[in-house]
Amino acid sequence: MNKLSSFLEQKFMPTAVKIGNQRHLQAIRDGIVLTIPLIIIGSLFLIIAYFPIPGYDSFMKNVFGPNWQTSLLMPVGVTFDLLAVFVVVGVSYRLAEHYKLDALSVVVTSVAAFMLVTPYEISFTPEGTDQVYQVRGIPLDLTSSKGMFVAIIVAIITTEIYRYIVKKNIIIKMPAGVPPAVAKSFASLIPGFIVLLILWMLSLLLKATPFENMHNIVYVILGKPLSLLGGSYWGAIIAVIVAQLLWVTGIHGQGLVWGIMSPVWLALIDENRQAFVSGKEIPHIVNTQFMDIFYSIGGSGTTLGLAILLLFRSRSKQLKQLGRLAIGPGIFNINEPITFGLPIIMNPIMMIPFIFVPVVIVTVSYFAMDFGLVAKTAGIMVPWTTPAPIGGFLATGNHISGAILQIVNVLISMALYYPFFRLYDNQKLKEEQNKTE
């Protein structure tokens, strides 16, 4: 056990800190966070549009007309269908902020660059014919989750080129009396021109290849392999183990791992949403909602079960008091009182279940959905602080099986944590008795 603790502290932790502090990864993580409120807003309208009450659809048609659902889904479209645009804005802004550039100018240039590399053409087949026409327009699937990888790449490329030009002082400087807003606009002229010129030339070059555009080449080389890995059972297990190992060294594991995997998992969420709205079979099990709702019950490590044990089964006064403090936040999936107060970090007893319990929970949840015992997540973005079993019910498209699975997961976690909790509780009780004597 000492060897494991020593390895984590001396080898694993320094590497993880360097990765977590890498500026591009930080910008991607913080930039994607920008999209979360919008996705949640869109998801609320999605829940209302498909509320599972008998006669609900007929009632809404009688009150609001036959096209009530189309109107209600409009906010869903302007949130989910523009995810890539929001990601361009978020990533470029955060990276420009890190470099202390004029973030607004960088964001505007990044959005223009993203539109430049996105094909302005849509295939259209009129109803009742086999003839395919090409019409002018931006394909919504490329501005939604499918375009997120290109959005991230374009945001980083734009900001780095912009920074280089500004660093070399190749900008137009206005006299001192010119208003700051006007001076910043002229200062962004040359960097913006060079960015768009480079990406325009790249776009023309790719058009002459079989890939035709940046979206296709990124999807084939990067998007598809990551989706296959990230959306698989083993991809989820690897993500969980790495996140838990980071946590026990004192690093926010979900913040780092989820930041890397979010582009993949958000894209899978959107594909589930499209299938759910179309009435088709939902394709993916693993995505952000699967990980947040079924693995993070009580927080990373499925620690709500541990919080319940601390509150109701502790004999140690210290752990009993910690249980009283931890149960409230734990219900809303916040477990810092446990991870730092128990503590779990570098605790040779509690770090063992903290790592393997989530692996068991993810395994049970995955195969429960794979075998059809539990409904898959329906692409509805439920806030990660939503208490169980409400979160499971909403995330699976208002399906009771999702709520039941969350309850089962809490019971499993309690059973698995119990031997280690009892060992640690006895240790603390003995310490308290020795102090009293």
For residues 104 and 206, membership in a common domain is answered with yes
For residues 57 and 184, membership in a common domain is answered with yes
Phi, psi for residue 178 in degrees, rounded to 5 = -75, 135
The two three-digit tokens of residue 392, written as one number: 């499971």
For residues 327 and 395, membership in a common domain is answered with yes
Q: What is the pLDDT along the chain (437 residues), one digit of tens a residue?
A: 556 556 656 665 566 567 667 788 888 888 887 887 888 888 788 878 877 677 777 888 887 888 888 888 888 888 888 888 998 999 999 999 999 998 899 999 999 999 999 888 777 777 767 777 777 777 877 888 778 888 989 999 999 999 999 988 888 887 777 777 777 788 888 999 999 999 999 989 988 888 888 888 887 777 667 667 778 899 889 888 888 887 877 666 776 777 778 788 888 888 888 888 888 889 999 988 898 889 889 888 889 999 999 999 998 888 899 889 889 888 888 887 888 788 887 777 888 889 899 999 999 999 999 999 999 998 888 888 888 899 999 888 888 999 999 999 999 999 999 998 888 888 888 888 887 76
| Contact present, 346 and 2 (Cβ < 8 Å) | no
For residues 248 and 359, membership in a common domain is answered with yes
- Domain range spanning residue 392? 242-436
Spatial distance between the Cα atoms of 152 and 28, rounded to a whole number of angstroms? 7
The predicted structure's pLDDT at residue 13: 58
Q: Cα–chain-centroid distance for residue 357? A: 22
The predicted structure's pLDDT at residue 11: 60
The predicted structure's pLDDT at residue 398: 82
Number of domains present in the structure of the chain: 2
Would residue 5 count as lying in a domain?
Answer: no
For residues 342 and 373, membership in a common domain is answered with yes
Would residue 152 count as lying in a domain?
Answer: yes
For residues 298 and 200, membership in a common domain is answered with no
Spatial distance between the Cα atoms of 385 and 26, rounded to a whole number of angstroms? 22
Would residue 84 count as lying in a domain?
Answer: yes
Beta carbons within 8 Å of 302's beta carbon, 6+ residues apart: 295, 296, 357, 358, 361, 409, 410, 413
The predicted structure's pLDDT at residue 12: 57
For residues 291 and 340, membership in a common domain is answered with yes
Would residue 311 count as lying in a domain?
Answer: yes
The predicted structure's pLDDT at residue 45: 83
Is the pTM higher than 0.85? no
Burial class (CB in 10 A: 0-12, 13-18, 19+), 98: middle
Spatial distance between the Cα atoms of 406 and 424, rounded to a whole number of angstroms? 26
Question: Using CA of residue 171, residue 175, residue 176, residue 181, what is the dihedral sign?
Answer: negative
Would residue 284 count as lying in a domain?
Answer: yes
